[in-house]
Amino acid sequence: MIASRSVPKPPNKLSFNHNVSLTVSLTVGSPPQQVTMVLDTGSELSWLHCRKTPGTPSVFDPTKSSSYTPIPCSSPTCTVRTRDFTLPVSCDPKKLCHATLSYADLSSVEGNLAAETFRFGNSAVPRTVFGCMDSGSSSNPGEDSRTTGLIGMNRGSLSFVSQMGFPKFSYCISGRDSTGILLFGDANFPWLKPLSYTPMVKISTPLPYFDRVAYTVQLEGIKVSGAVLPLPKSVYVPDHTGAGQTMVDSGTQFTFLLGPAYTALKSEFVKQTKGVLRVYEDPNFVFQGAMDLCYRVGLNRAGLPVLPTVSLVFRGAEMSVSAERLLYKVPGMVKGSDQIYCFTFGNSDLLGIEAYVIGHHHQQNVWMEFDLVGSRVGLAEVRCDLAGQRLGMGL
């Protein structure tokens, strides 16, 4: 459980943009330097590129900040608070705390841990621990060149939200204009309907494949237009190694299901869309390495046909994915007189991930609340573009 500060603070809000990833802008250092960071509920340490390269034009320059403080290896921050990192920290030749972070998409960054002042909304938070990264490899160079780093928002002790001490945070991603709102603190607005809550799943004993600081919820079933996939409940429950947890991850674009669930969903969706959509028959084409159900949609077609709704059923809450959120147009791909659209659920097994991952594409137009103290995730359908306007007007 993460201790929250006892004094209730007014909510702090930030707006963000999204394309392939969700990004927020804030300032870091003294004097402040403007940075753009990817919002990631699936990881812990926030980090910034600190060395300019052709692939990372946007950087934070620690030499220009009077408040920048590198963290030595002997510090408890380095020895104790990094215990949930996927790779252990090390000591560099200057006796500074060195971290290497790797992600499921095979990208990685490395550099030194440091403390610095982060400013967002109306708050300035001195001595925020982050990674000042000087090297790395990217799986999406185009997207990475537009951002300065990543803001880690999971439940680990060094995540941004844990260091801020807020008991909860929320975000709302608009499906329309690529914007969104990120809110730290309570969301008590008259226009926001009551949220449905699902408890976070926690385990007391460490298991090799279970991420203990992720926002893990219990998936209990999947429906396609009301038809429940004929799978035993055990398919959705983590096994004795911890593999098979369901994580809510704003740092992943689409949603990935373990093989048996993915195969059953794909088969039911194809069955219910027969005669409405034409399957793109190319066994060699797999979008982003894990999405192998794609369709041909005529270039002259005004919009997508009416599609069955896919519902993810959690303990106590349900997330419905409908219409254009079910299919994603493959950029620049045309076959004859057709564009190619792919189903926005993919197969975790093809990615080598032992988990169910709920990505941000399916969280569009859903108010998502992460209640760290109550250990639960809340959701309610809402028009996020209107929510953003209301918050902008101070409602």
Check whether the bond before 208 is cis (ω within 30° of 0): no
In contact, 355 and 348? CB cutoff 8 Å: yes
Burial 308-327 (b: 16+ CB within 10 A, else e): bebbbbbeebebebeeebbb
Round the CA-based radius of gyration of the chain to a whole number and report it. Answer: 21
* Tokens read off for 49: 């590129």
Rounded distance between C-alpha atoms, residue 376 and residue 236, angstroms: 18
Q: Is 134 a catalytic residue?
A: no
Any residues with CB less than 8 A from the CB of 82 and at least 6 apart, and which?
A: 88, 89, 97, 99, 113, 158
Residue of 84, 211, 249, 385 marked catalytic: 249
Q: Is 385 a catalytic residue?
A: no
Burial 208-228 (b: 16+ CB within 10 A, else e): eebbbbbbbbbbbbbbbeeee
In contact, 68 and 114? CB cutoff 8 Å: yes
Burial of 338 (0-12, 13-18, 19+ CB in 10 A): middle
Rounded distance between C-alpha atoms, residue 135 and residue 370, angstroms: 32
Residue with tokens 């997207």: 143
| Side chain identity, residue 268 | E
Q: Point out the residues that are catalytic.
A: 40, 249
